[in-house]
Amino acid sequence: MRASCFLEVATSSVERSLAVERAGADRLELCVDLEIGGITPSLNLIRQVRAAVQIPIHVLVRPRAGNFVYTSAEFAQLKEDIAAIGEEKVQGIVTGVLLPDGSVDKQRTSELVALASPMQVTFHRAFDETKDLTMALEDIVLTGAVRILTSGGAADAPAGSSALRSLIRQAGNRITILPGGGLHPGNIAEVPRVTGARELHTGLGGVIPYNSADIPAFESAVRDCLTSLRG
């Protein structure tokens, strides 16, 4: 299964990023304050991680915790951050904007996708807060984003497996569905088996606290995820 299942791991430090690479994962999602869902990391941290690892880095661009309906000032901050990150030789960003009615803000998200080019854009788990996942998927396809990080609208990816399977079928080859949320070595292999997912995302927060300084334990957990997927 390993050959066809790509693993992205969320990290918030140079040390954890190095651990992810040593363990053999395929990509980093870099952010800070993972315990509140993650916000945009500093340019200094991005530069330090970029200098330390060879695997691809996708950077979360989110100005604050909470909802994904942004003021004009917050949207301007998103654009400023994306423009700056574009100079740092990373491979992608993770972002997204919603409208007050719970639908995807196609106009603003499209602007961010265009600004980020040639970096890939993943629409983050704001997707799970939309009022209609099926419609939201179609809206995101129109923005030009290449990937959607989602738990299928459920509390975690295992609970959302049925919805994830349907979303993957709906997406076809137009956009990648990236299941994430609550994945750990004990359950990660079940999600691609049930859903057909080719990429998976984890931060391992359910088994290793995000603020833990136990890097060996974190690295071991990432490695155990990969071992489960190979099995």
- Mean pLDDT, consecutive 10-residue stretches, the chain (231 aa), reads 76 98 98 96 98 98 97 98 98 98 98 98 98 98 98 98 98 98 97 97 94 95 95 72
Domain-located, residue 159: no
Please give the tally of structural domains in the chain.
Answer: 1
| CB-count burial class (<10 Å; 0-12, 13-18, 19+) for 64 | middle
Distance between CA 167 and CA 176 in Å, rounded? 10
Domain-located, residue 100: yes
The enclosing domain of 40 has a CATH number of: 3.20.20.380
| Cβ(179)–Cβ(195) below 8 Å | yes
E-assigned strand segments in the chain: 6-11, 27-30, 57-60, 92-95, 120-123, 147-150, 176-179, 199-202
Domain-located, residue 144: no
Domain-located, residue 27: yes
Q: What is the pLDDT of residue 167?
A: 98
Domain-located, residue 155: no
Q: What is the pLDDT of residue 2?
A: 40
Going by their DSSP bridges, the two strands 27-30 and 199-202 should be labelled as: unpaired
With a CB cutoff of 8 Å and minimum separation 6, the contacts of 128 are 150, 151, 152, 153, 154, 181
Encoded amino acid at 148, one letter: I
Domain-located, residue 166: no
Q: What is the pLDDT of residue 231?
A: 72
Q: What is the pLDDT of residue 230?
A: 86
Distance between CA 188 and CA 207 in Å, rounded? 13
Q: What is the pLDDT of residue 4?
A: 65
Domain-located, residue 87: yes
The domain of 14 spans 2-122+181-230
3-state SS, residue 143: helix
Domain-located, residue 49: yes
Q: What is the pLDDT of residue 201?
A: 98
